[in-house]
Amino acid sequence: MANKKHVQCTINGEHTEFLCEPRQSLLETLRDVLGLTGSKEGCLTGDCGACSVLVDERVVCSCLMLGVEAEGKTLVTVEGMAEESELHPLQQKFLDNAALQCGICTPGFLVAAKALLDRNPTPSEAEIRYALAGNLCRCTGYDKIVHAVLDAAKVMQEA
């Protein structure tokens, strides 16, 4: 379509170029244009956080950002959390704590939790609950997610 824009940005450490229509959200661009389907669509209104990604180190709902707005930005998605073949401590602790059941909210929780730990390496339970309040999970009652983030913070402090 003639209306498509050329966008350059960095995604998960890689320089990336793509074409997208202005009406395509960043989420749609990641999933349908770039094939990065790890970010999930839950509501398209910014209420569930399943589409959370980092943009210039801030956590945002990629459903409420346009693909064209990514121009010049540095993005991290769930696909970029693991280093080489080693899982991020958050990913490992989510597994160890059984902090996921269906797993659809997990990418968003991991990204939001990473944003939290990047700024606050030793959060309290209350701080974790506040930081993750924009991510809905319907399976776990959040209990094991909160424990996983506490454990990951501990492991990262010790490392």
Partner 1 sequence: MATAPTQEFKIIGTRPVRPDGVDKVTGRAKYGADYSFPGMLHGKVLRSPHAHARIKSINVDKALKLPGVKAVVLGKDLPELESKIEFIGEISLNPHYLAHNVLARDKVLYNGHAVAAVAATSPHIAEEALALIEVDYEVLPPLLDVREAMRSDAPILHPELRNKEEPDKQTNVASHVQFKRGDLEAGFKAADYIVEREFDTSMVHQGYIEPHNAVGVYNSDGHATIYCSTQGAFDVRSMSARVLGMPVGNIKVVPAEIGGGFGGKTTVYLEPLSVALSKATGKPVKLIMTRSEVLRATGPTSGSHIRIKMGATKEGKLTAAEVWMAYEAGAFPGSPVMAGAMTILAPYVLDHLLIDGYDVVLNKPKTAAYRAPGATNAAFASETVIDELAEKCGIDPLQFRIMNGAKEGSLQPAGPPFKRIGMIETCQALANSPHYKSKLVGKNRGRGVAIGFWFNAGMQSTATVNIHTDGSASVVTGSPDIGGSRASMAMIAAEVLGLSFEEVRAVVSDTDSVGHTDVTGGSRVTFATGMAVYEAAQDAVRQLKERAARMWERKFDEIDFQAGKAISKNNGVPPMTVKEIAAKFPRTGGPITGRASVSARGVGAAFAACCIDVEVDPETAKVQVLRATIAQDAGRAIHPSYVEGQMQGGTAQGIGWALNEEYFYDQAGLMRNSGFLDYRMPTCLDLPLIEPVIVEVPNPGHPLGVRGVGEVSIVPPPAAVANAIYRAIGVRMTELPMSPPRLFKAMKNKRS
Partner 2 sequence: MHEFSYEAPTTVADAVRLLAAPRDGARVLCGGTDILIQMRAGVRKPSLLVDVKNIPELRQIKFDPKTGLRLGAAVACIEIFESALMHKHYPGLTEAAHLIGSTQIQSRASVGGNLCNGSPAADTTPALIALSAVAHLIGLGGERDVPVEEFVTGPGQTVLKPGELLVDLRIAAPRPHSSDCYLRLIPRNEMDIAVVGVGAAITLEGNRCVAAKIALGAVGPTQIVARKAGEWLVGKELDAAAFEKAGDLASEVCTPIDDMRGTAEYRRHIVDVLTKRALQAAAERARNN
Per-residue x/- track, 94-133, partner 2 (CB under 8 A): ------------------x--xx-------------xx-x
The one of partner 1, partner 2, none whose footprint includes residue 101, by CB under 5 to 8 A per kind, is: partner 1
Contacts of 133 (CB under 8 A, 6+ apart): none
| Nearest by Cα to 112 from 69, 156, 55, 65 | 55
CA distances (Å), origin 43, targets 31, 40, 64: 15, 9, 10
Does residue 16 touch partner 1 according to CB under 8 A?
Answer: no
Q: Of residues 6, 19, 23, 120, which one binds partner 1 by CB under 8 A?
A: 23
Contacts of 92 (CB under 8 A, 6+ apart): 152, 155
Give the binding site for partner 2 (CB under 8 A).
3, 5, 21-23, 25, 44-47, 49, 52, 55, 58-61, 63-66, 68-69, 71, 112, 115-116, 130-131, 133-135
